[in-house]
Amino acid sequence: MGGNLSLGARNLLQNCADLRAGDHLLVLSEDPETGFYDPSLGEVIVRAAQAMGARATVHAVPFAPVLRDLPDDLGPALAAADRVLFLARMGDQLRFSPALADLHPVVSYALDADMLGSDFGCAHHHAFQALRDCLNNALSVARHIHVTCPLGTDFEGPGANFPAYAGEVTVRRFPLSVFAPVPAAPYRGKIAQAGFLTGTGSTYYAPYSAVLGNVLEIHFDQGRITRFDGPDRDLALAHYTRVAQGLGIDRDNVHSWHAGIHPGCGYRDQAGADLARWSGGAFGNPRLLHFHTCGEYAPGEISLNVVDPTVRLDGIAVWDNGRLHPERVPGGAEILARYPCAAKVFANPSQDIGLTPTGRLSASVE
Q: Are residues 47 and 147 in the same domain?
A: no
Find the mean pLDDT for residues 113-126: 97
Provide the pLDDT confidence category of residue 104 given band limits of 50, 70 and 90. confident
Q: Are residues 211 and 323 in the same domain?
A: yes
- Domain end (from 86, 117, 148): 117
**Whole-number average pLDDT of the chain:** 94
In a domain, 173, yes or no: yes
Cα(355)–Cα(358) distance, rounded to whole angstroms? 8
Q: What is the pLDDT of residue 69?
A: 83
What are 167-187's pLDDT values in tens digits?
A: 456 789 999 999 999 999 999
What are 17-42's pLDDT values in tens digits?
A: 999 999 999 999 999 999 999 999 99
Q: Are residues 92 and 140 in the same domain?
A: no
Q: Are residues 16 and 97 in the same domain?
A: yes
Cα(191)–Cα(285) distance, rounded to whole angstroms? 18
| Residue 48: domain span | 3-117
In a domain, 359, yes or no: no
Q: Are residues 270 and 219 in the same domain?
A: yes
Find the mean pLDDT for residues 302-321: 98
Query: Which candidate, 266, 246, 235, places its Cα nearest to that of 352?
Result: 266
Q: Are residues 89 and 132 in the same domain?
A: no
Q: How far from 8 is each of 4, 112, 289, 317, 336, CA to CA, in Å?
A: 6, 11, 25, 31, 19
Q: What is the pLDDT of residue 1?
A: 41
- Hey, which residues does 320 pair with through a beta bridge? 323
Q: What is the pLDDT of residue 95?
A: 76
Q: Are residues 80 and 200 in the same domain?
A: no
In a domain, 365, yes or no: no
The answer to whether 219 and 225 have CB atoms below 8 angstroms apart is: yes
Q: Are residues 217 and 339 in the same domain?
A: yes
Find the mean pLDDT for residues 295-299: 92
Q: What is the CATH number of the domain that holds 89?
A: 3.40.1830.10
DSSP 3-state of 243: helix
Is pLDDT above 80 for 3? Answer: no
Is pLDDT above 80 for 355? Answer: yes
In a domain, 95, yes or no: yes
Q: Are residues 253 and 275 in the same domain?
A: yes
Between residues 308 and 95, the one the model is more confident about: 308
- Where is 242: in which H helix or E strand? helix 233-247
Q: Are residues 36 and 145 in the same domain?
A: no
- Hey, which residues does 188 pair with through a beta bridge? 156, 221
Between residues 337 and 76, the one the model is more confident about: 337
Provide the pLDDT confidence category of residue 2 given band limits of 50, 70 and 90. very low
DSSP 3-state of 198: strand
Q: Are residues 63 and 186 in the same domain?
A: no
Is pLDDT above 80 for 52? Answer: yes
Q: Are residues 209 and 326 in the same domain?
A: yes
Q: How many domains does the chain have?
A: 2
Is pLDDT above 50 for 110? Answer: yes
Q: What is the pLDDT of residue 37?
A: 97
